[in-house]
Amino acid sequence: MNSRRKALKSLITLPLAGGIVSSNELLANENQIVIDSLKKDYFKELGIRTFINAAGTYTSMTGSLMPKEVIDAISYGSLEYVNLDELQDKVGERIAQLLNCEYATVSSGCFGAMSIAMAGVMSGKDPKKIKQLPDVTGLKHEVILQESHSIGYSQALTNVGAKLVKVKTSDELEKAINEKTAMLWFLNANTDNGEIKWEEFVSLGKKHNIPTFIDCAADVPPVDNLFKFTRIGFDMVAFSGGKGLRGPQSAGLLLGKKEYIEAARLHTPPRGETIGRGMKVNKEEVLGMLAALELYLARDHKAEWEMWEKQINLISNSVKSIDGVQTIIHVPPHANHVPSLKIRWDENTVKISPNKVREKLRNGTPSIETVGNKNEIGITTWMMVPGQEKIVAKKIQKILKTYKA
């Protein structure tokens, strides 16, 4: 036992009789000792590659890194028992206050938010209907969306029994509405691809008295998106917890009308005979999500943006210095709205393909993950630990230089 551990150990045993230190503090101390003294390197022990994330927020790459304040909230939450519903009630109210919306809940990611929201819209608060899903006999179960908004994630809706009805125009949308229509679903990332925009979509929902839902999973920054869509009038708005918000990767936010969120909650644990029972979010993630949101709202967004721009410029300038290499700096309009870089080159001048360079980056030390295709490498810096952009800049430059004709 090292001396620090010994010292802490005696600290733990000493004040107990006097009741000076609560059991929680003791447990916290003990946890700290374990972490400090063991320094167990799980990834190394398991032979798991860790890497610099120059790609973005990808589930396959385990999302984002949580700030210390979020980890602290998770550790704090792990030390006491609470009633799960009471916690979700209070945190939901707190989040609604922070985001100026009627109500909120912490879900199991944005996908989970979509599933429980859809389930809630179909069942309402009727216990029999809640239990019958995904059997939709006798329930409104059609969800209308624009064809250009149809991506893989709409599986979150069909998983709970809903049927997708795809339309192109507002005319088609109105014609598609019938007595089975349960919800109108909008994918914010694809706003520009669809004919129907936010306000019109919302007004169509209001006109026909059908709830509207918007998937904003990867759509902070900007911070205003957390307020904007409930303000416009969407009945339900969902965000991923572990993308731009940098909360727990397995958590998310469902914001909006209380009646729909309450119905959605009836599908979640602790209630067992529901389609959402497997989408459990426990106290640690609920608190972690709240902490991440509070931290995000308090952040200096302008300074952060300037840092990302600087980082992207650094990488861009470093590779652009090589003859034949071009870079494009761009900001996607809705989802993953951060300074991003595309690196392209003439393969007659630099004799290696983008995919091969990406492979070399992945297999290097440290390993670096990027995105891309056969024409280009794609980079973002928002998921990096500040400073790593220098390593990325150097590594890419070095590889490209090696293959310069």
Ligand X SMILES: *Cc1c(COP(=O)(O)O)cnc(C)c1O
* Residues in contact with ligand X by the rule CB under 6 A: 59, 109-112, 153, 189, 215, 217-218, 240, 252
Which residues does residue 181 pair with via DSSP β-bridges, in sequence order? Answer: 142
CB of 101 to ligand X, least distance (A): 19
Q: How far apart are CA 24 and CA 81, in angstroms?
A: 11
Toward ligand X, which CB reaches closer, 221 or 252?
252
CB of 56 to ligand X, least distance (A): 10
CB of 78 to ligand X, least distance (A): 22
Toward ligand X, which CB reaches closer, 180 or 197?
197
Toward ligand X, which CB reaches closer, 287 or 399?
287
CB of 218 to ligand X, least distance (A): 4
Q: How many CB atoms lie within 10 A of CB 307?
A: 16
Contacts of residue 312, defined as CB under 8 A and 6 or more positions apart, other chains included, come to 329, 339, 340, 341, 379, 380, 381, 389
Q: How far apart are CA 70 and CA 80, in angstroms?
A: 17
CB of 171 to ligand X, least distance (A): 26
Q: Which residue is at the shortest CB distance from ligand X?
A: 109
Q: Which of these, 243, 193, 250, 183, lies nearest to 216 by C-alpha position?
A: 243
CB of 294 to ligand X, least distance (A): 19
Structure tokens at 205: 């929902």
CB of 158 to ligand X, least distance (A): 14
Taking CA 398 as the corner, what is the angle to CA 392 and CA 401, rounded to the nearest 5 degrees?
Answer: 135
Toward ligand X, which CB reaches closer, 181 or 188?
188
Toward ligand X, which CB reaches closer, 186 or 345?
186
Dihedral over Cα of 151, 238, 55, 63: its sign: negative
Q: How far apart are CA 191 and CA 363, in angstroms?
A: 37
Toward ligand X, which CB reaches closer, 2 or 59?
59
Toward ligand X, which CB reaches closer, 112 or 211?
112
Toward ligand X, which CB reaches closer, 215 or 389?
215
DSSP character for 404? B
Cis geometry, peptide bond prior to residue 67 (ω within 30 degrees of 0): no
Q: Which of these, 350, 400, 346, lies nearest to 370 by C-alpha position?
A: 400
- Would you call 243 helix, strand, or coil by DSSP? coil
CB of 206 to ligand X, least distance (A): 24
95 conformational bin, left if phi > 0, alpha if psi -120 to 50, beta if neither: alpha
